[in-house]
Structure 1
Amino acid sequence: MDLMQKKTSGKNLQPDTVLAHTGRDPGDFHGFVNPPVVHASTVLYPDVETMASGGQRYSYGRRGTPTTEALENAITELEGAAGSRLANSGLNAVALACLSCLKAGDHFLIPDTAYGPTRHFADTVLPNLNVVVEYYDPALGENIRSLFRPNTTAVFVEAPGSLTFEMQDIPAIADAAKGIGATVLMDNTWASPLYCKPLELGVDLSIQAGTKYIVGHSDVMLGTIAASAKAWPGLNSLHGAMGVHVAPDDVYLALRGLRTMSVRLERHYKNTMAVIDWLRDRPEVGAIRYPALETDPGHAIWKRDFSGASGLFAFDFKEGTTADQSARFFNTLNLFGLGFSWGGFESLAIPVKLKGIRTATQVAPNFQSARLHIGLEDPKDLISDLEQAFEKAFT
């Protein structure tokens, strides 16, 4: 029995313990706690017979190393999947997941709240492959059946939705999709595998932008895809055929970030709630969009299907706020960086214009809006920064 088996064999471990131990086996590496960073292309075989049999554990660097295998095993365990594969970014993971289950002539349903680059991929790449893309109201739930066609083969979900943070009834959508044999894909980056288990909700392909909370330090681009038994053969085959391989140093940093993801997410949530509680009383602020709030329209679904919330949310400025006032607010922030992405240790802010980003449904009036990622700073300092920005923008 190896070292890790002595610690974990036969035990029903809690998520925090799994994060600390999954994806590593000191018994394989002379007792060292962390798996090695293997930089490799060529793998040597002992003889022609072994090479011809294909039975050697590692065959070529592109097809996996102890480093990539460690992270894939960890994601597989966290997601409760049949298998997992790594991608070069979150968007690359979305693209690979979609291509693994779509073919020419298929009809593909995507929620109107999907991440902007996902929409761009669907609008520019998939039509060239003769895949018919249709956007749907994320609130449909089981009524998504009304959109099914004889050639509907895949349904995408994202919860909460990008920018508007609308929730979707994932079990109801998945159940409807299963009735016609369609594959269900989910972008679960906001919650991470720690706070939502898509495969338990009926999803076939669970997608993460590991760039965000898995890595957690704003220094690596990474995506992960975890597959059900149904979806695993297609994903595994396409991943190999496309020659996708993530650099070992990036994989190592993702493994390192994974160990502290739980404690980081707890702090992100704590800080986020402190900031939101303060924002609620600001006269410059209108609606706040964050499904963990009891007042949020999607709170009941979030409470049923999720076990936690992260540090990303949005709010509208009060009605009548001008574009110049919004710009002054963002330009006078000091601790909040103006930058895309999120999930790192630092707080970020971006202006959001909701009007015109949807095609199947309408959103709220044309308010000026903000998306904030609350990092690991002291929330008192973040609140002070927001306060001075409001004062400079609205006085």
Structure 2
Amino acid sequence: MTARSDRTRLIAGATRRGAGRRPVSPPVERASTLLNDDPAAMRDETAGPVYGIEDLTAARELRAAVAGLEGAVDAWLVPSGLAAVTVPLLALLRPGDEVLATDALYGPSRRFLNRWLAPRGVSTRFHRAEASIDGILAAVTDRTRVLLIESPASLTFELADVPALAAACRARGVMTVMDNTWAAGLAFRPLAHGVDVSVQALTKYAGGHSDLLMGSIAVADAAAGRQIAGTIEDLGWRVSPDDAWLALRGLRTLPLRYAEQARSALQVAGWLRGRPEVAEVLYPALPGAPAHALWRRDYGGAASLFGVVMKGGDEAAAHALMSALELFGLGYSWGGFESLITHETGQLALRERPPRLAGELLRLHVGLEDPADLIADLEVGLAAWNAALSPG
């Protein structure tokens, strides 16, 4: 049998035969106590979960689907995308160890490194977001145990040469953990490129409807998996059966939504790059972008999330642009069916080496609306931007 595509495999898991008459989607089991017929069977894990804190049917099917998507030996679910980042770090690091991460790291991940791990004896070094492979490896010390990769980087979308980094780290005995939310396990598969642990926020594209919070952790090696599984068990972090069911439902249509939103994003990003108010569009999938060649080499698609650097401006002008929009929601997160916009200039100050941009930084997520309508909406927003900057 020839290899099946992602869109086929994610649906085929629901229609497999051999289990008798059943619904397409698994039942939602809300349970803390699970009853037994035999006292001797109460702790028999071969018969399934023994208590509700363990994954029930929907969560187990979701784990299997994520593991298949990631090419993993196993995958786990945690209550948020942030937890998907923090759990592997808790599992793999000990006092005296060091983490190396990009200076462009997602803000809450950076906060965890500085506010939680640092007081407990795990230090962090941040490399320049645009550093070369040699520059990143030069920051590795004899205490470095984990390289935390976020590619593309948060807000400014720098792309890393992940296969080369993973190989170099493996040769040095450094483990790699990659936040792969932008690629959603579809456009790029970290484990197939040598990364040890791939994490993503299922909150985003997998859920797809902005109505749940969840993260996934997938591993290529069973030994690392045992450490992560034990940490999850000890912390007592699980997801609700209702959320697992929603995420599994979203996962079935993920490839179609992801590809369609990327097509629209490329159209909107290309239009914005031609506007006189815009200095730069930060989107690796856009031809001519700094990392476009690397994206074409390694990625099979793109998220519909990108940055827009304006020509000058200030916070008031950025807010005027955003307030004039009707189709772009003002809210955080992304990956859902709706378009969103945020103003991100202030977050850049958290970095050790803030980038020098030509003006205010906006982040756009393109949803499933008609891109022509989104462009018309942005025209209105840019008119408000110009009016806010006009003298008098």
TM range (shorter): over 0.9
Work out which of the residue numbers 172, 188, 212 in structure 2 matches 1:196. Answer: 188
Q: Alignment partner for residue 134 of structure 1, among 108, 125, 140?
A: 125
Structure 1 residue aligned with 2:51: 60
Note the C-alpha offset of 1:203.
1.0
Give unpaired runs (5+ residues) of structure 1. 1-9
Q: CA shift at 1:322, angstroms?
A: 3.0
Instruction: Give per-residue Cα distances to partners, 1:61-82, cap 9 Å, x unaligned.
Output: 1122111100000001100101
The answer as to whether partners of 1:25 and 1:33 remain within 8 angstroms in 2 is no
Any idea what SS the aligned residue of 1:55 has? Answer: helix
Aligned 8 A contact 2:101 2:149 in 1: yes
**Uncovered stretches (5+) of structure 2, i.e. residues with no partner:** 388-392
Q: Deviations over 1:253-281 (max 9, x none)?
A: 10110111111111111111121222122
Aligned residue number for residue 167 of structure 1: 159
Displacement of 1:11 after TM fit?
5.4
Per-residue Cα deviation, 1:308-327 (whole angstroms, up to 9, x for no partner):
00110011111x32332222
Deviations 1:339-378 (A, max 9, x none): 110111111001121642321x441236211100001111
Task: Encode CA deviations 1:291-323: one digit per residue, 9 max, x unaligned.
Answer: 0112111112211111000110011111x3233
Aligned partner of residue 46 in structure 2, secondary structure: coil
- CA RMSD, 1 decimal: 1.7
Q: Which amino acid aligns with 1:382?
A: L
Contact conserved, 1:330 with 1:389, CA < 8 A, in 2? Answer: yes
Correspondent of 2:270 among 277, 289, 294: 277
2:4 partner SS: coil
The answer as to 2:233 corresponding to 1:237 is no
Task: Give, in angstroms, the shift of residue 392 of structure 1.
Answer: 2.1
Quick check: 1:12 aligned with 2:12?
no
**3-state SS of paired residue (2:185):** helix
Q: Aligned to 1:356, what secondary structure does the other structure show?
A: helix
Aligned to 2:390: none
| Pairing partner for 1:304 from 297, 304, 323 | 297
Shift of 1:46: 3.3
Q: 1:80 aligns with which of 71, 77, 80?
A: 71
TM-score under structure 2 length normalisation = 0.94
- CA deviation vs aligned residue, 1:164-194 (integer Å, no higher than 9, x gap): 0000111121112111222210000011111
Q: Of residues 261, 273, 276 in structure 2, which corresponds to 1:268?
A: 261
* Residue matched to 1:7: none
Match of 2:213?
221
Q: Give the TM-score of the pair, scaled to structure 1.
A: 0.93
> Which of residues 7, 31, 44 is equivalent to 1:40?
31
State the Cα deviation string for residues 220-273 of structure 1 (Å, max 9, x = none): 111111112142111111111111110111111101101111111111111111
Q: Which residue among 331, 345, 353 is the counterpart of 1:339?
A: 331
Partner-residue secondary structure (3-state), 2:42: helix
Give the deviation of 1:36 after TM superposition.
1.3
Match of 2:173 among 181, 201, 214: 181
Amino acid of the structure 2 residue aligned with 1:322 = D
Cα 1:189–1:355 shift into 2, 3 Å: closer
Runs of 4+ in 1 over 4 A off after TM superposition: 23-26
Q: Residue 218 and residue 135 in structure 1: after superposition, are their counterparts in 2 closer, same or farther (change >3 A)?
A: same
CA shift at 1:115, angstroms?
0.6
Q: What's the counterpart of residue 356 of structure 1?
A: 349
Match among 364, 371, 386 for residue 372 of structure 1: 364
In 2, Cα distance between equivalents of 1:233 and 1:306: 29
Question: What letter corresponds to residue 238 of structure 1 in structure 2?
Answer: T
Q: Aligned letter for 1:358?
A: R
CA distance in structure 1 between the partners assigned to 2:134 and 2:20 by the alignment: 49
Segment of structure 1 superposing worse, 19-28 or 53-62: 19-28
Q: Report percent identity of matched pairs.
A: 39
Contact kept, 8 Å, 1:83 with 1:227, in 2: the verdict is: yes
Q: 1:370 to 1:299 in 2, by over 3 A?
A: same
| Partner Cα separation in structure 2 for residue 84 and residue 325 of structure 1 | 44
Supply the distance in 2 between the matched residues of 1:92 and 1:267 (Cα, whole angstroms): 29
Superposition deviation, residue 53 in structure 1: 5.0
